[in-house]
Structure 1
Amino acid sequence: MAAVVGIRAWPRPVVFVGETLLVSVCYYVAGRLGLSQQLVADGAVVTPIWPPTGVAVACLLLFGLRCAPGIALGALLVVASLTAPRLSAAGIVLGNTIAPVCALLMLRAVGFRVSLSRLRDGVALVFLGALTAMLISSGVGVGMLVLTDKLAADDFWLVWLAWWVGDAMGVVLVTPLLLLLHRARRSPPSGRWGEAVGLALVVCVLVPVVTYSSISVLFLVYPLLIWAALRFQLAGGMPCALYASVMTTVAARDEAGSFGALTDIETMMKLQAFNGTLGLTALLLSAVITEQINTRRSVERACHELVEALQHLNAGGSGNTGPPGRGAG
């Protein structure tokens, strides 16, 4: 407790600088992880999943707008690690900062809850926080590349689409997982340790086999995803979806499995379609199941309180009944 009080007693500028550096480091590390899984499509380098957008949106949802400078600094560090700071780099940093902030503002406007305990929260995160807000980062980033002659105008739509989907997948796959970790409990729900370990083992073994199989059997991932979401909601669905997406991206980068005979464009399209449907299924199915469980618990709680109230009324009424008292004298 004394340590917590001591941290809170630090001057606000020191706390702000510390938070900014921490957010920027998290953003930079996520960026380097995303860049490690690059693909080449028609001569352009793309990232099918861009984790920094998920990190940025999660930090803003949890800690507010004070994280925006850290996001900008992290984006600048990622861009600086790839190329010398120029006008195009400034535009990319600006777009990557404004897009998560707009996602936060839109999600706040519709009453988004970080618990993701309602279907409307999952839908809002997908369609507002991911698909809509990330139009800004992709549009500004690719637009700046074209304006500064870093990218041919004919390649605009292809690179924009890949950029947009990669940013959106970062929000869909990474943000829910970070929000879940922020409020994680030490024990899994209902203590289903055995089932959780069994599910993890099956996923870890079967997913690489499916993704590297020469036969196109990627659909076999969905039964595992449904099992994880039905039994463990976000705690099971989102890690399963993220792991399957990463393994599929690795297979696509290695031109292995069902991606071996495809062109670069076909590989990108197939991979992004698979990752997108996987992330949407995991997030929305988990949100639906969580909402149903919470509704059932609320009904059970209301019924229990009603029974207690009726028992209390009956007890009070029975206490007032009995033989009439005899008068004195």
Structure 2
Amino acid sequence: MVQALTRGTFIGMPPPRYVALGAAYLAAYVALDWLSFVDPLGAFGITPWNPTTGVSIALVLAFGRAFIPWIFLAPLMADGLLRQFPLPLGAEVAVVLILGGTYAAAAWFLTRQDGPFSNTLQSKQDLIWLLGTAAIAAMVAATVCVLLLAMMSIISTDQIGQGILGWWVGDMIGITVMTPFLLFLFSGRTIFPHSAELLLPFAVMIGALFLIFGTATTNPSQLFYLLFLPVIWIAVRFGLEAVTGALVVTQVLLISAIQLAGHSGLSITALQTLMLALALTGLVVGALVTEQRNTQRELWLHREALGRASRVGALGALAAAIAHEINQPLTAIGNYARVGRRNLKSDAMDRTAAVRTTEQIIEQVDRAAAVIRWLRDFIGAGSSRFEVVSVPDLIRRPESVCRADLEEHGIVLDTIVPRDLQSVQVDRLQIEQVVTNIVKNAAEAIAGARVSGGRIQIEAADAGSAFIVISVVDNGPGFEAILLERPISPFTTTKADGMGLGLSLSRSIIQSHGGKLTLGGSSAGARVSFTLPKVDKEAMSTTI
């Protein structure tokens, strides 16, 4: 697994594991060197793709600076096993020292204690630091090595430009394609999600390669842009991890197609330069998509945390109000009980007074029980269970529950709910109960005012880009002006027998969902409105 680098430390792992990782790296290096030794410039091997460079950088970034000595040993070992040291000994050692020293310095720079780079590649900043450092290191290594070879007459001066460009492109392709992919692989992160959709862009990729190399065109570079479609498709749909895997597949298929088509020399360098542009584009798009999704996920979690905090605060205040409401009958019960006790202890006990006191106690017990029963009926049993619900479905049950009762009292219930409204994520039971409670309050107000032709209307509409607003409008007496001027609070009621908890609890529930409940209207009727956040489809898909 990737170490979240203890920057500046050495080995940092058991010696057997250190040796095993080093040996695995050497084996992978030699195998990749052999596989990628395609169309070399000279026997020493300036090739159009150097995945070994990307593996070396990934090794140090993932497992620490203790592996820097291995990146000096690996190229020397590969040259000896595969090419029997094609350069003179002095040149061989010099090239190994230049390459190893340059990339060791780059890895050291990226893993410095106060550096901004993280090997987890969590942000586009990490990717920019990696690719920027790699571009500079690759140019330094290519320039110094090619000039050294030219000074030693191993290549001609006419080959210097081609050699520097080819070396730089080969190393950059190796780092750009291999290093991010291996960092994700070493960390155990999923490269390709289990999705049948991935088959489509890979099919397009194979088709594009066939068009590029399988047609009669004399210049494959003219159709290379076709490969951008599947790579960007994967980057946009699946993010940075998936696009790193797609780039590895693209590079392997591209090199294979180049070999089968018989291209060589500058034409391969030109194609690899386009491949480098493709890789950089794919990584940048993937990083932006992943960063946006991470930001949306964080915003979603932040909103959930705010909702929980709001729920605790709002329900805490409501709990205190309910406790106050219950405390009143409990206090009265205590007072009546003490009066009854004195009466019972009296020598001249008044049985009529005792009965009256007992009835008063029962009355207060019933009052406290009514508060608890009302609260239980309002919010139901169990904890909140949030689900994605369409607004028409959310309104349907309260409408059916209330309609029959309203019709008995001659009150008409209408709904205006567009079916194309964006869904909301709510506790369906709680919001349905809020709507039901508001509608019943409106019906009681209409009946109490003896309004002829009573009418209640449930409306829903967009309230900006982030919210849906649901309103219950009636043609009853409306709210008193004082209720519209002050915040909704417990014990606020316009009914003679009301407890004043309905609107307060409704407000608390709406606030716990991230919305807001408001009162409005006039003497011609009342309007109670509340907002609910729309479902963030992208954030929801990344958190499931």
- Counterpart residue type for residue 124 of structure 1: W
- Counterpart residue type for residue 216 of structure 2: S
1:6 corresponds to: none
C-alpha RMSD of the superposition: 2.7
Q: Residue 83 of structure 2 aligns to a residue in which SS?
A: coil
Deviations for 1:228-251, whole angstroms, at most 9, x for unmatched residues? 111112333223333333333344
1:59 corresponds to: 59
- Alignment identity in percent? 24
2:215 corresponds to: 213
Normalising by structure 2, report the TM-score.
Answer: 0.52
Residue from 145, 148, 153 that aligns with 2:152: 148
- Taking the aligned partners of 2:283 and 2:192, their CA distance within structure 1 comes to 18
- Whether contact under 8 Å (1:226, 1:282) holds in the other structure is yes
- Whether contact under 8 Å (1:245, 1:275) holds in the other structure is yes
1:182 aligns with 2:180: no
Give the structure with the larger helix fraction. Answer: 1
Residue from 111, 127, 132 that aligns with 2:132: 127
Normalising by structure 1, report the TM-score.
Answer: 0.83
- Counterpart residue type for residue 114 of structure 1: N
1:91: how far off? 1.3
Q: Describe the shift of the 1:16–1:237 C-alpha distance in structure 2 as closer, same or farther (beyond 3 A).
A: closer
Deviations for 1:260-281, whole angstroms, at most 9, x for unmatched residues? xxx843x144213211111101
Q: Describe the shift of the 1:188–1:177 C-alpha distance in structure 2 as closer, same or farther (beyond 3 A).
A: closer
- Taking the aligned partners of 1:172 and 1:245, their CA distance within structure 2 comes to 11
CA radius of gyration, larger in: 2
- Taking the aligned partners of 1:291 and 1:55, their CA distance within structure 2 comes to 25
Q: Describe the shift of the 1:187–1:92 C-alpha distance in structure 2 as closer, same or farther (beyond 3 A).
A: closer
- Counterpart residue type for residue 82 of structure 1: R
Q: Residue 24 of structure 1 aligns to a residue in which SS?
A: helix
1:282: how far off? 1.2
1:29 aligns with 2:35: no
Deviations for 1:8-31, whole angstroms, at most 9, x for unmatched residues? xxx955444333322222222221
- Taking the aligned partners of 2:204 and 2:271, their CA distance within structure 1 comes to 22
Q: Describe the shift of the 1:254–1:200 C-alpha distance in structure 2 as closer, same or farther (beyond 3 A).
A: closer
Deviations for 1:113-163, whole angstroms, at most 9, x for unmatched residues? 2232211112112111x2011133323422332233212234223212211
Q: Which moved more, 1:60-69 or 1:302-311?
A: 60-69
- Taking the aligned partners of 2:121 and 2:183, their CA distance within structure 1 comes to 9
1:225 aligns with 2:231: yes
- Counterpart residue type for residue 75 of structure 1: P
- Whether contact under 8 Å (2:41, 2:163) holds in the other structure is no
Q: Describe the shift of the 1:241–1:15 C-alpha distance in structure 2 as closer, same or farther (beyond 3 A).
A: closer
Q: Which moved more, 1:217-226 or 1:242-251?
A: 242-251
Q: Residue 46 of structure 1 aligns to a residue in which SS?
A: coil
- Taking the aligned partners of 2:213 and 2:291, their CA distance within structure 1 comes to 32
- Whether contact under 8 Å (1:54, 1:170) holds in the other structure is yes
Greater relative CO (CA pairs within 8 A, separation 6+): 1
- Taking the aligned partners of 2:203 and 2:260, their CA distance within structure 1 comes to 24
- Taking the aligned partners of 1:14 and 1:235, their CA distance within structure 2 comes to 30
- Taking the aligned partners of 1:164 and 1:188, their CA distance within structure 2 comes to 29
1:253: how far off? 4.1
Q: Describe the shift of the 1:283–1:15 C-alpha distance in structure 2 as closer, same or farther (beyond 3 A).
A: same
Q: Which moved more, 1:213-222 or 1:46-55?
A: 213-222
- Counterpart residue type for residue 117 of structure 1: Q
- Taking the aligned partners of 1:115 and 1:218, their CA distance within structure 2 comes to 31
1:112 corresponds to: 117
- Taking the aligned partners of 1:242 and 1:219, their CA distance within structure 2 comes to 17
- Counterpart residue type for residue 91 of structure 1: A
How many residues were matched structurally? 308
- Whether contact under 8 Å (2:173, 2:276) holds in the other structure is yes
- Whether contact under 8 Å (2:54, 2:174) holds in the other structure is yes
- Taking the aligned partners of 2:164 and 2:225, their CA distance within structure 1 comes to 27
Unaligned residue ranges in structure 1 (runs of 5+): 1-10
Deviations for 1:282-318, whole angstroms, at most 9, x for unmatched residues? 1111111110000000011100100110001111111
1:169 aligns with 2:173: yes
Q: Residue 217 of structure 1 aligns to a residue in which SS?
A: helix
1:249 aligns with 2:252: no
Unaligned residue ranges in structure 2 (runs of 5+): 1-12, 339-544
Q: Describe the shift of the 1:204–1:235 C-alpha distance in structure 2 as closer, same or farther (beyond 3 A).
A: farther
- Taking the aligned partners of 1:46 and 1:251, their CA distance within structure 2 comes to 19
Q: Which moved more, 1:241-250 or 1:58-67?
A: 241-250
- Taking the aligned partners of 2:293 and 2:250, their CA distance within structure 1 comes to 26
- Counterpart residue type for residue 289 of structure 1: V
- Whether contact under 8 Å (1:49, 1:170) holds in the other structure is yes
Q: Residue 36 of structure 2 aligns to a residue in which SS?
A: helix
Deviations for 1:89-129, whole angstroms, at most 9, x for unmatched residues? 1112112212222222232354222232211112112111x
Q: Residue 133 of structure 1 aligns to a residue in which SS?
A: helix
- Taking the aligned partners of 2:27 and 2:40, their CA distance within structure 1 comes to 24
Q: Describe the shift of the 1:272–1:174 C-alpha distance in structure 2 as closer, same or farther (beyond 3 A).
A: same
- Counterpart residue type for residue 120 of structure 2: S
